[in-house]
């Protein structure tokens, strides 16, 4: 069996698929998934156990044996809960072979082998009978097939098949039902993640406007849901236009259909405004009476204040963008319709109509027609809509642009070529290496009547020839830099590699913008994100420490020594050290032949736990003008750190939290070693407590 793993290559700017053989080490992936906050979600685990225990009791009260089917068993946790609750036998289905093998070890290790059978198949391939995978149909159906959108992991097809082939009619189901809720809002911030607004600039004393093609304005946007930690969006960033309403429910104890469907709810807006976004989340009832609930409702919806509300990252909340802004009037009835197919949900809002007109309603899932949503993700839309950021580039370009300048821009789908043209560059080239970005930028240039004034180059930088530049030398080389394949902050250093490949095309006095970049580092204490790498949590009536034993012993767990990308504006943290510059990259020069390295000691000067280190890049465009991809404002006694919302930062989790005042850990500093490898474009790092 061959395995292909995607890796961003900063030296080429491409996403490459590396082939691994059958001996590929899955331990890290499994360990990370097992250590994820799903197993630390005490609220989830406790309520699943309560629901399972109640379902087993109901079956036993009827005088039946409790035969459980656990679809998507993962580590086997819910199956072991079922046996602990008194189930007679449990079939745990897990399609991912390495995880299924792990579940077998966990079950055996904890003495459940005689009552739990792990089946390594997709549930739709499982058979029942004397020679089948299951000896008999189950009368209790347990699943955890849900994602943030509820049905995005294929829950509906799995349930449909299970009710037809694997469980008894009238079976118990845990969870018993799910309900999807929605709230209509106006939000300038969230809408900026979906549509581009015209950009007004003052160039050479003339007001100029950068506009976008008409199809971008009417495009319904990306078909995928925007899932975020909605609890981190302050209420000042949106205006509720409706009450929270239940859109539809699914009863998992009865036959479920994967067929497309729609559900319409009449709304009376509570405020006038522009309906732009539908905020949505779900709630599951673990029992038929609805007395055991697990809710994803955000903080402003909760009826009672909880000092420590459940935090989870495996389930978040949904932001759905309406195809277009819809003006609403307070009190005027509107129809909000939720559609779903077998894997996704979407919404439409319109004035209330009669039943006949609804029957002809278009139910097709919206798809991007303008190409922009295929090239740019939501943070990128927000970045391009950030006027303060655009102004920094505009001011920096004014400082460095020379008369009769020949400019080359290197970024994916950047507006810098338009800015530099409006500032008076004699000739502007832009390098767009993907067919999608070339096509989109051509449309944008045409919308601004610049299709004959900005030349799009379609070759890799190392293949460009003097004729591509009309036998002229580049006097101004610019970049944001932004590349759509970048995952970690330093992956955008592809610009440096492209600049090096273009050396012979650059004028002797070429100006490069940005002039340089720096890599910054700071240790932090996370409010919640640390849970995704921490020992397993607790669950009422069940000892979760077996999961830690499994990770460390059964899987021969090896700690990750790599940084991970996380959008830290969604994950509150406080700094436990001062920000530190660890590496500097000089774009005026070609890439060095030898690695750049830096070692030192970070003093943990603030009395708190240090869960890890955060790394980010800052780009120095021109004297006194810089752009940060990370820290915007350090934390203080009352507030958490503020991070740019347009980029993901790199997070390196320490093997264990550093507590300066703990009797166990006396370390008050962290030794670090950070290096940039020019051969691979990667930044390697290591951190150790310094005692």
Q: Which residues are catalytic?
A: 144, 153
In 10 A of CB 374, how many CB atoms? 17
- H/E stretch holding 566: strand 564-566
Tokens representing 333?
């009835």
Helix residue ranges, H only, 205-344: 214-218
Helix residue ranges, H only, 350-482: 355-359, 372-375, 378-384, 387-400, 416-422, 435-447
Name the phi and psi angles at 27, rounded to 5: -55, -40
Distances in Å between the Cα of 645 and the Cα atoms of 378, 418, 571, 630, 648 are 10, 24, 11, 9, 8
Q: How far apart are CA 608 and CA 605, in angstroms?
A: 9
480-491 burial, b if ≥16 CB within 10 A, otherwise e? bbbbbbbebbbb
How many Cα atoms within 13 Å fall on the side-chain side of residue 505? 25
Q: How far apart are CA 117 and CA 128, in angstroms?
A: 13
Q: What string of DSSP letters covers 527-558? A: SSGGGGGSPP--BTTB-THHHHHIIIIIT---
- H/E stretch holding 61: helix 42-61
Q: How many residues does the chain have?
A: 691
- Write the CB contacts of 143 (distance below 8 Å, at least 6 apart in sequence): 70, 71, 72, 155, 158, 159, 173, 174, 175, 252
Tokens representing 578?
């001062």
Q: How far is CA 388 from the centre of its chain?
A: 25
The closest of 473, 515, 476 to 496, measured between CA atoms, is: 515
Name the phi and psi angles at 221, rounded to 5: 100, -170
The closest of 230, 226, 245 to 296, measured between CA atoms, is: 230
Q: How far apart are CA 633 and CA 343, in angstroms?
A: 39
How many Cα atoms within 13 Å fall on the side-chain side of residue 527? 18
Q: Quick one: CA torsion of 642, 645, 648, 652, rounded to 10 degrees?
A: 10
Angle between helices 97-109 and 27-35 (to 10 degrees): 60
DSSP-derived secondary structure letter, 134: B
Q: How far apart are CA 418 and CA 404, in angstroms?
A: 16
Burial of 435 (0-12, 13-18, 19+ CB in 10 A): exposed
Tokens representing 354?
């009669």
In 10 A of CB 574, how many CB atoms? 19
Q: How far apart are CA 445 and CA 453, in angstroms?
A: 9
Q: Which residue has the tokens 């767009």?
A: 432
Beta strand 239-240 pairing with 631-633: unpaired
Q: Is 194:221 a contact under the CB 8 Å cutoff?
A: yes
């Amino acid at each position: 069996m061959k395995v292909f793993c995607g890796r961003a290559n900063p030296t080429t700017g491409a996403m490459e698929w590396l082939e691994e053989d059958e001996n590929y080490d899955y331990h890290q992936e499994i360990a990370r998934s097992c250590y994820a906050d799903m197993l630390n979600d005490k609220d989830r685990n406790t309520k699943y156990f309560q629901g399972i225990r109640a379902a087993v009791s109901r079956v036993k009260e009827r005088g039946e044996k409790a035969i459980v089917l656990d679809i998507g068993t993962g580590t086997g946790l819910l199956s072991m809960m079922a046996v602990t609750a008194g189930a007679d036998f449990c079939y745990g289905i897990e399609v991912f072979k390495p995880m299924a093998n792990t579940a077998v070890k966990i079950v055996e290790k904890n003495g459940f082998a005689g009552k739990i059978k792990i089946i390594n198949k997709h549930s739709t391939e499982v058979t029942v009978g004397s020679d089948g995978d299951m000896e008999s149909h189950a009368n209790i159906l347990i699943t955890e097939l849900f994602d943030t959108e509820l049905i995005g992991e294929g829950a509906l097809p799995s349930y449909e098949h299970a009710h037809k082939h694997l469980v008894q009619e009238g079976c118990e189901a845990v969870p018993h039902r799910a309900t999807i809720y929605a709230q209509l809002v106006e939000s300038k911030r969230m809408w900026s993640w979906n549509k581009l607004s015209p950009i007004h600039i003052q160039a050479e004393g003339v007001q100029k406007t950068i506009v976008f093609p008409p199809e971008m304005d009417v495009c319904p946007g990306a078909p995928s849901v925007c899932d975020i930690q909605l609890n981190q969006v302050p209420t000042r960033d949106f205006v509720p236009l409706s009450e929270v309403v239940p859109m539809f429910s699914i009863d998992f104890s009865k036959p479920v259909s994967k067929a497309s469907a729609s559900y319409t709810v009449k709304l009376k807006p509570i405020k006038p405004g522009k309906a732009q976004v539908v905020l949505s989340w779900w709630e599951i009832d673990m029992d038929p009476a609805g007395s055991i609930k697990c809710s994803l409702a955000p903080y402003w919806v909760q009826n009672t204040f909880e000092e420590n509300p459940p935090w989870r990252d495996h389930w978040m909340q949904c932001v759905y963008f309406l195809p277009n802004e819809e003006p609403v009037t307070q009190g005027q009835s509107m129809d909000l319709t939720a559609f779903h197919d077998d894997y996704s949900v979407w919404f439409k809002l319109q004035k209330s109509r009669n039943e006949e007109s609804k029957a002809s309603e278009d139910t097709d899932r919206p798809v991007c027609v303008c190409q922009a949503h295929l090239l740019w993700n939501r943070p990128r839309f927000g970045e391009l809509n950030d006027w303060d950021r655009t102004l920094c580039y505009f001011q920096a370009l004014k400082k460095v642009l020379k008369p009769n300048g020949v400019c080359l821009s290197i970024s994916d789908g950047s507006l810098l070529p338009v800015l530099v043209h409006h500032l008076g560059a004699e000739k502007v080239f832009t390098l767009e290496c993907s067919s999608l970005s070339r096509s989109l930028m051509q449309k944008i240039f045409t919308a601004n009547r610049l299709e004959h004034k900005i030349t799009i180059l379609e070759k890799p930088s190392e293949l460009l020839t003097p004729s591509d530049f009309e036998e002229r030398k580049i006097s101004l080389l610019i970049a944001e830099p932004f590349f759509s394949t970048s995952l970690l902050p330093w992956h955008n250093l592809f610009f440096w590699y492209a600049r090096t490949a273009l050396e012979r095309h650059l004028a002797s006095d070429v100006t490069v913008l940005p002039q340089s970049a720096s890599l910054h580092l700071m240790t932090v204490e996370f409010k919640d994100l640390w849970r995704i790498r921490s020992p397993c949590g607790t669950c009422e009536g069940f000892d979760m420490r077996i999961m830690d034993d499994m990770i460390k012993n059964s899987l021969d767990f090896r700690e990750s020594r790599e940084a991970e990308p996380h959008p830290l504006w969604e994950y509150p943290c406080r700094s436990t050290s001062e920000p530190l510059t660890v590496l500097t990259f000089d774009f005026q020069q070609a890439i060095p032949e030898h690695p750049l390295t830096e070692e030192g000691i970070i003093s943990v000067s603030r009395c708190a736990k240090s869960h890890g280190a955060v790394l980010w890049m800052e780009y120095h465009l021109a004297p006194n003008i810089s752009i940060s991809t990370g820290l915007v404002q350090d934390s203080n006694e009352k507030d958490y750190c503020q991070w740019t919302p347009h980029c993901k930062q790199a997070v390196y989790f320490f093997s264990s939290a550093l507590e300066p005042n703990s009797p166990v850990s006396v370390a008050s500093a962290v030794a670090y070693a950070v290096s940039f490898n020019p051969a691979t474009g990667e930044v390697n790092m290591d951190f150790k407590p310094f005692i």
